[in-house]
Amino acid sequence: MDITVIFLLGLIVALLGVIPPGLLNMTAAKISLKEGPVRGVMFSIGVCIVVIAQTYLAAIFARQLSNHLEIVDVLQRVAFVIFVLITIYFLFIAKKEPVEVEEPARWSKKGRFFQGVFLSSINIFPIPYQAYMTITLASFNLLDFSQISIISYVAGAAMGTFVMLYIYMFFFDKIKGKSITSQKSMNYLIGSITAIISIITLINIIKEM
Contact 109, 32 (CB under 8 A): no
- Which letter, b or e, does each residue of 164-194 get, where b requires 16 or more Cβ atoms within 10 Å of its Cβ? bbbbbbeebeeeeeeeebeeeebbeebbebb
pLDDT tens for the chain, 209 residues long, are 689 999 999 999 998 888 777 788 889 988 988 888 899 999 999 999 999 999 999 999 888 887 776 776 777 787 778 778 878 877 787 655 444 445 445 566 778 999 999 999 998 888 888 988 898 888 788 888 899 999 999 999 999 999 999 988 887 766 555 544 455 666 677 678 778 878 877 887 787 66
- pTM value is 0.77
Measure Cα distances from 40 to 49, 51, 75, 104 in Å: 14, 16, 37, 11
Q: How many domains does the chain have?
A: 1
Contacts of residue 68, Cβ cutoff 8 Å, sequence gap at least 6:
none
Contact 11, 157 (CB under 8 A): yes
Contact 39, 31 (CB under 8 A): yes
Q: Which domain holds residue 162?
A: 3-208
